[in-house]
Copies of this chain bind each other. A is one copy, B any other.
């Protein structure tokens, strides 16, 4: 089923949820040839043994997890995905890049342009600060041309994707005051990774909903970096994540003050038109952004398992605020799907290849 112009790829750290979803997408990708997967924990086992849900792929039955080894990977793969914890990813990126392999990193290691900001949020020195200038932020809707030629792509975090896609067009078109942004987000439990911590056990999450990590969650660093870039000034926003009992999905509800006051129906309609136009100009040709119309509001169940992000918005005449809402699958558009979208761009494949 794989065609002739296939690209050989590998995954380092394929045993977490992000890695597993990458395996799913790459096994099913018509032009990707999954040559290597690594995992200390599962070394020696086949992909089909570790993930029985992929057992029908002949490739899953023959490909075995290996110990990570940059040189072996470089021989087999022209692009390698890193699905590793922050701090660790950079260590693997360096030798791979030196060996001429292009790297798509799913960790936070190359998302932040500034090594001091990285340290402020991740509590350790950046392991490879010399690479920060080289890395491209893998948000195709805003960095497509840079991604195309990048040797190192830093895929955005799941929360940042769900916040940036609704807000960036309106900041660029100076329709909202960026410092007024309050992003209230809820995420499914796979967002925490396949981590063995009591708080992620079934009975701790089921019938539970809770805020966490506020007021300074790590993802703020990249959200603020990108918003500041778009706004042309350094600024802070509010961000509160919550954990809810679904496997996959993030809903972000974002409050912002429009630049223009709307005091009556006429000014509200005028503003609404500008917002509509802004979104259309940015997204009408985007294959994975769906602008909801009419009474529709985002719902994780409409995007789970897909690379789509659904966006809706409402103006509130009573308070003068704009409310933006988005839903995405945290593991797909929020992580692995977006990585594959970047891969397609980097390899001149149709951008939706393996993603529809």
- From the candidates B55, B198, B206, B294, name the one contacting A49 in the complex (CB within 8 A): B294
> Does A211 count as interface, using CB distance less than 8 angstroms?
yes
Min distance, Cβ A142 to any Cβ of chain B, angstroms:
20
What is the total number of copies of this protein in its complex?
Answer: 4
Bound-state CA distance A244–B314 (Å) is: 20
Q: Of B200, B215, B294, which contacts A202 at CB under 8 A? A: B200
> Does A153 sit within 8 A of B, measured CB to CB?
no
List, in ascending order, chain B residues with CB within 8 A of A302's CB.
Answer: 52-53
- Asked if A182 is an interface residue, CB under 8 A from chain B, the answer is yes
Question: For residues 315 through 334 of chain A, which have their beta carbon under 8 Å from a beta carbon of chain B?
Answer: 315-316, 318-319, 321, 323, 325, 327
Task: Find out whether the CB atom of B52 lies under 8 angstroms from the CB atom of A316.
Answer: no
Using A300-B207, A310-B52, A319-B237 as known contacts, say yes or no to A202 and B245 having CB atoms under 8 A apart: yes
In contact, A318 and B206 (Cβ under 8 angstroms): no
Cross-chain contact A189 with B215 (CB below 8 angstroms): no
**Which of B17, B290, B314 makes the CB contact (< 8 A) with A215?**
B314
Check A255–B238 contact: CB distance below 8 A: yes
Q: In the complex, what distance in Å separates the CA atom of A198 from the CA atom of B297?
A: 16
Give the distance to chain B from A14, nearest Cβ to Cβ, in Å.
15
B209 touches A246 (CB 8 A): yes
Give A195 Cβ to nearest chain B Cβ, in Å.
8
The CA of A210 and the CA of B303, in the complex, are separated in Å by 12
Is A218 an interface residue, CB under 8 A from the partner?
no
Across the interface, which residues of B come within 8 angstroms of A244, CB to CB? 186, 209, 244-246
Q: Are B253 and A211 in contact (CB under 8 A)?
A: yes
- Interface 1/0s, chain A 266-287, versus B by CB < 8 A? 0000000000000000000001
Across chains A and B, which 8 residue pairs bring their CB atoms closest together, nearest first?
Answer: A215-B316, A202-B205, A210-B299, A53-B302, A208-B301, A184-B184, A189-B202, A236-B318
What are 22 A-B contacts defined by CB distance under 8 Å?
Answer: A49-B294, A52-B292, A52-B299, A56-B288, A56-B290, A182-B321, A184-B253, A188-B203, A189-B203, A189-B206, A196-B196, A196-B201, A202-B247, A206-B247, A207-B304, A210-B297, A211-B253, A211-B298, A215-B323, A236-B318, A240-B323, A245-B245
Q: What residues of chain A have their CB less than 8 Å away from a CB belonging to chain B?
A: 17, 28, 49, 52-53, 55-56, 182, 184, 186, 188-190, 194-198, 200-212, 214-216, 236-238, 240, 242, 244-249, 251, 253, 255, 287-288, 290, 292, 294, 296-306, 308, 310, 314-316, 318-319, 321, 323, 325, 327, 356
